[in-house]
Amino acid sequence: MIEKRWQFITQPIDTNATSTVKLLTEELGISTTLATLLWQRGVHNFEEAKAFFRPQLDQLNDPFLMKDMDLALERLEKAIENKETIVIYGDYDVDGTTAVALVYGFLRSYHSNILYYNPDRYKEGYGVSKKGIDWAKEQGASLIIALDCGIKSIDKIEYAKTQGIEFIICDHHEPGEELPQAVAVLDPKRKDCPYPFKELTGNGVGFKLLTAFCLKRDIPLEELFEFLDLAMVSIASDIVPIIGENRILAFYGLKKLNEKPRTSLKALKEVAGFQGEMSIESVVFTLGPRINAAGRIKHAKAAVKLLLSEDYEEAVNFAYEIQDHNTERKTHDSRITEEALAMIREDDWLFNEAKSTVLYREDWHKGVIGIVASRCIEHFYRPTVIFTKSKEGFAAGSARSVSGFNLYDAIESCSGILEQFGGHMHAAGMTIPIERIDEFRTAFDRYVSDTISPELLVPEIKVDIEISLDEIDSKFYRIMKQMGPFGPKNMQPVFVTHHLSLAASPRILKEKHMKLELVDKETGVSITALGFNMTEYYHQPLLAAETFSAVYTIEENNFRGKKTLQLFLKDLKF
């Protein structure tokens, strides 16, 4: 079993913090534990609590605060007025495909000369491509709206100009020193952009452009809000912080998905076999991978076709097509992960000494190497890069980091070996001459070994607060659930309880999961707990332990209409 680090989130210990927690307890009529959870999430008084528990769409920021929004809107209006052909261009991942579906799906009601385009992951790669611009030229387009890409496509935007095509860029990635010479560059991360919320997705930036369009034309915003489920799927799948505007968009997007889902998402959910209410987590693990699989295995246009479909039978057929892509993706994923883990175990240096993992096989599927890197980290917790052959003489690499380690800096230190690279602290991609992979492996591991602190090589579980089992009841769970949607910067609360024992021997489920009946020895309260992939704890030390501690989340189990609370275990300590 892999040892894990339990790291407590900041606790309210100074006078101001304890006073705030006491005030929240009294004003809201909640327990100290729940008030502490709110304090940890930046809620300090009744009004902030009201805004947190009841987010409102009128709290969204004015889109005209975004730099270049006026220029973007002016150019869009001109294109519509002059009946120009507009191409909606989006990346091939979930953010890009949902952004295309949202912007194209909305604007087609107001403009008939509109097309959409997603680049081929393997033939064109990420971002704006020359092939995409040439295709737009062939269609007679004079304006491209780029979603979730374009902020670094300086040469491609210049090329488009020579073809008589102008760009509006809607991106959320970090800009370089130079901005592309587009008609308008909408990106809240621009240094000169005063927009107050910086964590929008590419879909979110497109949503703000459409918000401005609605306000200018006096179109009821309720028409645009029908697309909030697509905005939410992008927020969930792009792993952006679910705070501020993202939390508002995600809150109402989930509400739409669960109460009145668009035809395409209803079909995708049904084909996936998901029943019940969806959360951000279930979107991430159910809808997101299926939408992504189209771009990973075949072409992202299959995902856009599905998302735009309004006929249920057609949507179900598209959903099955995407399901097949996802099944193929999982087959590649499982096989390559097994091969990668075997390579680590069979290499004495990699297994016993290395502080990083760098692997290469020319026949691995390029579409899943990022997933495989994440899978490897689950078994060998360290920065990981997986390479596969991309074109003659070159390999493409996908890298993933461990919490707290800056992967981008590590890769940048090896930039002289690489053909090109890009990314951020947690994930990155790169291209390298195949003959230099061994050189990269050595340099990368040297940098990691010299800079990573030992504790970062131990998986971390962030713990919100210690509680006893007698605090857990339906009221506690109901209030805690209203703190969602949960995701980055507002994670589902994680609790720790000490002095636990077993009421009976654990049951083994499907040979790898455990079902336990836990007893809090200090209060006598018992509760059911599930430990997924935790059977390594079964014989030793669990059965031999007199008492132990557990870290867990609280979930609701709905079995044949009867709802009960249970714990989902994350780790045990003895």
Instruction: List, for residues 303-330, the tens digit of each pLDDT value.
Output: 898 899 999 999 898 888 888 888 888 8
Bridge partners of 494, per DSSP, are none
Report whether pLDDT(172) > 90.
yes
Q: How far apart are CA 12 and CA 19, in angstroms?
A: 9
Bridge partners of 192, per DSSP, are none
For 186, residues 6+ apart whose C-beta sits below 8 A from its C-beta are 66, 67, 68, 69, 72, 168, 169, 170, 171, 205, 208, 209
Report whether pLDDT(297) > 70.
no
| 450-487 burial code (b ≥16 CB/10 A, e <16) | eebeeebbeeeeebbbebbbebbeeebeebbeebbbbb
Lowest mean pLDDT among 166-170, 274-278, 323-327: 323-327
Report whether pLDDT(347) > 90.
yes
Lowest mean pLDDT among 66-70, 190-194, 419-423: 419-423
Question: What is the arithmetic mean of pLDDT over 123-131?
Answer: 83
For 72, residues 6+ apart whose C-beta sits below 8 A from its C-beta are 168, 170, 183, 184, 186, 209, 212
- pLDDT recorded at residue 448: 98
What is the band of 349 on the pLDDT scale with cuts at 50, 70, 90? Answer: very high
Report whether pLDDT(168) > 90.
yes
What is the band of 176 on the pLDDT scale with cuts at 50, 70, 90? Answer: confident
What is the band of 75 on the pLDDT scale with cuts at 50, 70, 90? Answer: very high
Q: How far apart are CA 530 and CA 509, in angstroms?
A: 10
DSSP string, 166-206: EEEEE--SPP-SS----SEEE-TTSTT---S-----HHHHH
Report whether pLDDT(573) > 70.
yes
Question: What is the arithmetic mean of pLDDT over 558-565?
Answer: 86
Question: What is the arithmetic mean of pLDDT over 173-196?
Answer: 95
DSSP string, 343-363: HHHH-HHHHHT-SSEEEE-TT
- pLDDT recorded at residue 296: 67
| 370-396 burial code (b ≥16 CB/10 A, e <16) | bbbbebbbeebbbbbbbbbbbeeebbb
- pLDDT recorded at residue 330: 85
For the chain, give the longest Cα–Cα distance: 78
Report whether pLDDT(543) > 80.
no
Amino acid at 120: D
Report whether pLDDT(66) > 90.
yes
> What percent of the chain lies above the pLDDT cut of 90?
79
Q: How far apart are CA 160 and CA 133, in angstroms?
A: 6
- pLDDT recorded at residue 540: 64
Does 468 or 317 have the greater pLDDT score? Answer: 468
Question: What is the arithmetic mean of pLDDT over 239-261?
Answer: 96
What is the band of 1 on the pLDDT scale with cuts at 50, 70, 90? Answer: low
